[in-house]
Amino acid sequence: MNSPNEFNLSCPIPIENYPRVLLAHGGGGRLMHQLIEKIFTSSFKNEILANRHDGATLNLPAGKLAFTTDSYVVSPLFFPGGDIGALSIYGTVNDLAMCGARPLYISAGFIIEEGFSMDTLWQIAQSMKSASQKAGVLIVTGDTKVVDKGKGDGVFINTAGVGIIEHDFEIGPRSIMDEDVIILNGDIGRHGIAIMASREGLEFETTITSDCAPLWETVEALLKSGIEINCLRDLTRGGLASALIELAEQSNRQFVVEENAIPVNPEVQAACEILGFDPIYVANEGRLIAFVPAKDAAKAIAVMREIHSDIKPSVIGKVSGNSPGTVIMKSRIGAERVIDMLSGEQLPRIC
């Protein structure tokens, strides 16, 4: 679990002078420059960022790039298994990975509420530093805004990412084929339940930790193994169910999923039962589904298992052409039902 005290380095802006972020820290003057220099540039340091221009200049080979963005508004900012800083890096890295792109460069935009703890901001920057190193990306450009007290919620972070596509696969909903199998890389529902438990002060026998993790390593291994990858999607807001339904609609195909084959940690399952949640709708931050031809299923699972020995990938279903745009769930007792998206989320502000 990350916590505001996990990192040893202490905040380089003297807390006795500026214990909290002021509106002036976003005003374009000396204080803003000091905040950016001491909190962000010193944490993320790299040659591109050091140019301190209005944007970063990147040298890239010709070819296909992936470009994506996500804003992070999670509450609470620190939770078992992660924090908003790590999430803001991994979430965007994962969106690039789902395009089959090697994540390279990240931008970071901070919207800070006046009065936010300077030390907590520093801890978040340290977490972003550590996450970007783990994910192999550079934070090359950024922006800092401060909004009046009561007009924000601590800190919101937006990251955008640029990655490079080094292969010829067309990875996306349009490439999903009949008879593809659907592989899930691990157990579902950890992130949503970790946030919920943390928010509501719920206690379980062991602490349920978020699955928050970068997924490029897994995708890279799949690409290198020679498996034909048709589509990838990470499971975030709306959980496994919403991702499946989105892809069924976008590919205009039908998916048949075995409820029995979907791994759910017993404590997550218990928490879901207490809270009245269905784990297939609960958010994740380190899980993906991959659509591959049936012949490649065993190999794909072996590759995934090699990368993350602690989670269990499995085939959870397959693509079938009967009733396009729908997802059928076969229950443990053999009953079939069509699953639909919820209107909203069982739990807001989880990412």
In the bound complex, what is the minimum distance in angstroms from residue 294's beta carbon to a second copy? 23
Closer CB to a second copy, 7 or 83, in the complex? 83
* Cβ-based burial of 46 (10 A; exposed 0-12, middle 13-18, buried ≥19): middle
How far is the C-alpha of 197 from the C-alpha of 265, rounded, in Å? Answer: 15
Q: Of 85, 214, 238, 263, which one interacts with a second copy (CB under 8 A)?
A: 238
Residues in region 216-235 near a second copy by CB under 8 A: 233-234
Q: Which amino acid would we find at residue 284?
A: N
Which residues from 25-54 bind a second copy, rule CB under 8 A? 25-33, 51-54
**Positions 56 through 85 that interact with a second copy (CB under 8 A):** 56-73
CA distance linking residue 341 with residue 238, whole number of Å: 8
Q: CA-to-CA distance for 114 and 174, rounded, in angstroms?
A: 45
Residue from 281, 279, 351, 291 nearest 319 by CA: 291
Determine if 250 is a binding residue for a second copy (CB under 8 A): yes
Residue 121 engages a second copy in binding (rule: CB under 8 A): no
Distance of alpha carbon 99 from alpha carbon 171, whole angstroms: 6
Distance in Å, CB of 212 to a second copy, minimum: 16
* Alpha carbons 350 and 157: distance in angstroms, whole number: 13
Q: How many CB atoms lie within 10 A of CB 306?
A: 11
**Of the two residues 270 and 341, which places its CB atom closer to a second copy in the complex?**
341
CB of 208 to a second copy, least distance (A): 20
Q: How far is the CB of 54 from a second copy (least distance, A)?
A: 4
Q: Under rule CB under 8 A, which residues in 157-216 are in contact with a second copy?
A: 158, 160-163, 165, 172-174
Helix (H, G, I), strand (E, B) or coil at 285: coil
Q: Could you say whether residue 276 binds a second copy (CB under 8 A)?
A: no
Q: How far is the CB of 53 from a second copy (least distance, A)?
A: 5
Exposed, middle or buried, 267 (CB in 10 Å: 0-12/13-18/19+)?
middle
Q: How far is the CB of 19 from a second copy (least distance, A)?
A: 16
Nearer to a second copy, 138 or 227 (CB): 138
Considering the rule CB under 8 A, would residue 150 count as an interface residue with a second copy? Answer: yes
Q: At what angle are helices 216-224 and 297-307 packed, to 10 degrees? A: 140
Count of residues near a second copy by CB under 8 A? 88
Binding-site member from 167, 299, 312, 349 for a second copy (CB under 8 A): 349
Q: Which of 1, 36, 49, 147 binds a second copy (CB under 8 A)?
A: 147
Please tell me the distance from the alpha carbon of residue 306 to that of residue 287, in angstroms, as a whole number.
16
**Cβ-based nearer residue to a second copy, 69 or 207:** 69
